[in-house]
Protein backbone atom coordinates (compact mmCIF):
# COMPACT_ATOMS: atom_id res chain seq x y z
CA UNK A 1 0.00 0.00 0.00
CA UNK A 2 1.36 3.38 -0.98
CA UNK A 3 1.51 5.98 1.76
CA UNK A 4 0.43 9.29 0.27
CA UNK A 5 0.61 12.70 1.93
CA UNK A 6 -1.66 15.57 0.93
CA UNK A 7 -0.46 19.04 1.84
CA UNK A 8 -0.56 22.65 0.72
CA UNK A 9 -0.83 26.15 2.11
CA UNK A 10 -3.59 27.21 4.45
CA UNK A 11 -6.88 27.72 2.58
CA UNK A 12 -5.34 26.25 -0.58
CA UNK A 13 -8.24 23.85 -1.18
CA UNK A 14 -6.53 20.89 0.46
CA UNK A 15 -9.58 19.82 2.46
CA UNK A 16 -11.71 19.82 -0.68
CA UNK A 17 -9.17 17.58 -2.40
CA UNK A 18 -9.22 15.18 0.57
CA UNK A 19 -13.02 15.08 0.49
CA UNK A 20 -12.91 14.29 -3.23
CA UNK A 21 -10.46 11.46 -2.62
CA UNK A 22 -12.60 10.12 0.22
CA UNK A 23 -15.70 10.25 -1.97
CA UNK A 24 -13.92 7.85 -4.33
CA UNK A 25 -13.39 5.40 -1.48
CA UNK A 26 -9.80 6.29 -0.65
CA UNK A 27 -9.03 5.93 3.09
CA UNK A 28 -7.95 9.30 4.45
CA UNK A 29 -6.90 10.74 7.78
CA UNK A 30 -6.85 14.43 8.70
CA UNK A 31 -4.00 15.78 10.85
CA UNK A 32 -6.11 18.82 11.76
CA UNK A 33 -8.75 16.51 13.25
CA UNK A 34 -6.05 14.79 15.31
CA UNK A 35 -4.85 18.17 16.56
CA UNK A 36 -8.41 19.11 17.46
CA UNK A 37 -8.70 15.91 19.53
CA UNK A 38 -5.35 16.63 21.20
CA UNK A 39 -6.60 20.07 22.27
CA UNK A 40 -9.59 18.64 24.10
CA UNK A 41 -10.20 18.88 27.83
CA UNK A 42 -8.07 16.60 29.97
CA UNK A 43 -5.56 15.61 27.30
CA UNK A 44 -1.82 15.50 27.94
CA UNK A 45 -1.24 18.07 25.18
CA UNK A 46 -3.76 20.48 26.69
CA UNK A 47 -2.04 20.23 30.07
CA UNK A 48 1.35 20.97 28.51
CA UNK A 49 -0.08 23.88 26.52
CA UNK A 50 -1.63 25.39 29.66
CA UNK A 51 1.74 25.09 31.41
CA UNK A 52 3.59 26.73 28.53
CA UNK A 53 1.10 29.45 27.55
CA UNK A 54 -0.94 29.96 30.72
CA UNK A 55 -4.47 28.96 31.66
CA UNK A 56 -5.82 31.98 29.76
CA UNK A 57 -5.64 29.86 26.60
CA UNK A 58 -8.22 27.42 28.01
CA UNK A 59 -11.92 27.65 27.30
CA UNK A 60 -14.55 27.25 29.99
CA UNK A 61 -14.86 23.51 29.36
CA UNK A 62 -11.15 22.95 29.88
CA UNK A 63 -10.26 22.51 26.20
CA UNK A 64 -7.82 24.81 24.42
CA UNK A 65 -9.43 27.91 22.97
CA UNK A 66 -7.91 27.64 19.51
CA UNK A 67 -8.61 31.25 18.56
CA UNK A 68 -6.86 32.59 21.67
CA UNK A 69 -3.91 30.23 21.15
CA UNK A 70 -3.68 31.11 17.45
CA UNK A 71 -3.43 34.81 18.26
CA UNK A 72 -0.37 34.03 20.40
CA UNK A 73 1.48 31.61 18.18
CA UNK A 74 0.96 33.33 14.83
CA UNK A 75 2.36 36.54 16.28
CA UNK A 76 5.49 34.91 17.71
CA UNK A 77 7.66 32.29 15.99
CA UNK A 78 9.13 30.98 19.26
CA UNK A 79 5.67 30.32 20.66
CA UNK A 80 4.69 28.59 17.43
CA UNK A 81 7.77 26.36 17.59
CA UNK A 82 7.00 25.45 21.21
CA UNK A 83 3.42 24.53 20.30
CA UNK A 84 4.55 22.39 17.37
CA UNK A 85 6.98 20.54 19.66
CA UNK A 86 4.04 19.64 21.90
CA UNK A 87 1.62 18.58 19.15
CA UNK A 88 3.52 17.18 16.19
CA UNK A 89 5.19 14.07 17.65
CA UNK A 90 1.85 12.66 18.79
CA UNK A 91 0.11 13.56 15.52
CA UNK A 92 2.70 11.82 13.36
CA UNK A 93 2.75 8.81 15.67
CA UNK A 94 -0.99 8.44 15.28
CA UNK A 95 -0.79 8.82 11.50
CA UNK A 96 1.85 6.08 11.34
CA UNK A 97 -0.30 3.83 13.53
CA UNK A 98 -3.27 4.47 11.22
CA UNK A 99 -1.32 3.42 8.13
CA UNK A 100 0.04 0.35 9.91
CA UNK A 101 -3.41 -0.67 11.14
CA UNK A 102 -4.89 -0.14 7.68
CA UNK A 103 -2.21 -2.30 6.09
CA UNK A 104 -2.73 -5.10 8.59
CA UNK A 105 -6.50 -5.19 8.00
CA UNK A 106 -6.55 -5.44 4.21
CA UNK A 107 -6.59 -8.93 2.72
CA UNK A 108 -4.90 -7.88 -0.52
CA UNK A 109 -2.99 -4.81 -1.73
CA UNK A 110 -5.61 -4.54 -4.46
CA UNK A 111 -8.25 -3.84 -1.80
CA UNK A 112 -6.54 -0.66 -0.60
CA UNK A 113 -3.73 0.21 -3.04
CA UNK A 114 -3.06 3.58 -1.36
CA UNK A 115 -4.23 5.76 1.51
CA UNK A 116 -3.88 9.49 2.11
CA UNK A 117 -2.88 11.56 5.14
CA UNK A 118 -3.85 15.23 5.01
CA UNK A 119 -0.96 17.04 6.72
CA UNK A 120 -0.82 20.87 6.46
CA UNK A 121 2.74 21.24 7.82
CA UNK A 122 4.31 18.24 6.09
CA UNK A 123 7.34 20.08 4.70
CA UNK A 124 7.69 22.48 7.62
CA UNK A 125 8.11 19.48 9.94
CA UNK A 126 10.39 17.64 7.48
CA UNK A 127 8.25 14.49 7.39
CA UNK A 128 7.87 14.25 3.62
CA UNK A 129 10.38 11.39 3.50
CA UNK A 130 7.91 9.14 5.32
CA UNK A 131 5.63 9.01 2.28
CA UNK A 132 5.77 7.36 -1.12
CA UNK A 133 3.94 10.20 -2.88
CA UNK A 134 3.13 13.81 -2.00
CA UNK A 135 0.16 15.73 -3.40
CA UNK A 136 0.26 19.52 -3.05
CA UNK A 137 -2.90 21.63 -3.38
CA UNK A 138 -2.13 25.15 -4.59
CA UNK A 139 -3.81 28.44 -5.29
CA UNK A 140 -2.66 32.05 -5.45
CA UNK A 141 -1.76 33.86 -2.20
CA UNK A 142 -4.48 36.39 -2.95
CA UNK A 143 -7.01 33.56 -3.16
CA UNK A 144 -5.72 32.12 0.13
CA UNK A 145 -6.20 35.46 1.90
CA UNK A 146 -9.67 35.81 0.40
CA UNK A 147 -10.70 32.31 1.50
CA UNK A 148 -9.22 32.76 4.98
CA UNK A 149 -11.04 36.02 5.57
CA UNK A 150 -14.32 34.56 4.38
CA UNK A 151 -13.95 31.19 6.14
CA UNK A 152 -12.39 32.27 9.46
CA UNK A 153 -13.55 35.86 9.76
CA UNK A 154 -9.94 37.10 9.91
CA UNK A 155 -8.59 40.53 9.14
CA UNK A 156 -6.25 40.88 6.17
CA UNK A 157 -3.28 41.13 8.57
CA UNK A 158 -4.31 38.02 10.50
CA UNK A 159 -4.68 36.11 7.24
CA UNK A 160 -1.23 37.20 6.09
CA UNK A 161 0.29 36.14 9.44
CA UNK A 162 -1.04 32.64 8.89
CA UNK A 163 0.37 32.49 5.38
CA UNK A 164 3.76 33.72 6.57
CA UNK A 165 3.89 30.98 9.23
CA UNK A 166 4.04 28.34 6.48
CA UNK A 167 6.44 27.62 3.68
CA UNK A 168 5.77 29.59 0.46
CA UNK A 169 3.62 27.47 -1.80
CA UNK A 170 6.25 27.51 -4.55
CA UNK A 171 8.64 25.69 -2.22
CA UNK A 172 6.05 23.02 -1.47
CA UNK A 173 5.42 22.53 -5.18
CA UNK A 174 9.11 21.69 -5.63
CA UNK A 175 8.64 18.72 -3.30
CA UNK A 176 5.40 17.53 -4.89
CA UNK A 177 4.86 14.41 -6.93
CA UNK A 178 1.41 15.67 -7.93
CA UNK A 179 0.03 19.22 -7.91
CA UNK A 180 -3.66 20.18 -7.81
CA UNK A 181 -4.41 23.78 -8.83
CA UNK A 182 -7.57 24.89 -7.02
CA UNK A 183 -7.78 28.41 -8.43
CA UNK A 184 -10.52 27.42 -10.86
CA UNK A 185 -14.00 25.94 -10.62
CA UNK A 186 -14.71 22.81 -8.58
CA UNK A 187 -15.10 20.85 -11.81
CA UNK A 188 -11.54 21.72 -12.80
CA UNK A 189 -10.22 20.58 -9.44
CA UNK A 190 -12.25 17.38 -9.64
CA UNK A 191 -10.77 16.53 -13.03
CA UNK A 192 -7.23 16.91 -11.67
CA UNK A 193 -7.98 14.75 -8.62
CA UNK A 194 -9.58 12.07 -10.77
CA UNK A 195 -6.50 11.95 -12.98
CA UNK A 196 -4.25 11.59 -9.94
CA UNK A 197 -6.42 8.77 -8.64
CA UNK A 198 -5.85 6.87 -11.86
CA UNK A 199 -2.11 7.49 -11.76
CA UNK A 200 -1.85 6.48 -8.08
CA UNK A 201 -3.69 3.25 -8.81
CA UNK A 202 -1.19 2.50 -11.60
CA UNK A 203 1.74 3.42 -9.35
CA UNK A 204 0.47 1.13 -6.60
CA UNK A 205 0.03 -1.75 -9.02
CA UNK A 206 3.52 -1.29 -10.44
CA UNK A 207 5.03 -1.20 -6.96
CA UNK A 208 3.74 -4.67 -6.05
Q: How far apart are CA 77 and CA 83, in angstroms?
A: 10
Helix, strand, or coil (residue 120): coil
145 class by beta-carbon count within 10 Å (0-12 exposed, 13-18 middle, 19+ buried): buried
Q: pLDDT of 110-130, one tens digit each?
A: 678 999 999 999 999 999 999
Helix, strand, or coil (residue 172): helix
* Confidence grade of residue 190 (pLDDT, cut at 50, 70, 90): very high
The CATH classification of domain 2-207, taken from the options 3.40.50.300, 1.10.287.3510, 3.30.230.10, 3.40.50.10420: 3.40.50.300
% of residues, the chain, pLDDT over 70: 98
Amino acid sequence: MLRVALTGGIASGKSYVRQRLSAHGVPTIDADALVHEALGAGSAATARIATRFGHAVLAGDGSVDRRVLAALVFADSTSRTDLEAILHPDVFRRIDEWFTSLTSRVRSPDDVPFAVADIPLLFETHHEGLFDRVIVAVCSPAKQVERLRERNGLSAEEARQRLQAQWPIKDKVRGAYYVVDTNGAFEETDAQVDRILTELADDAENSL
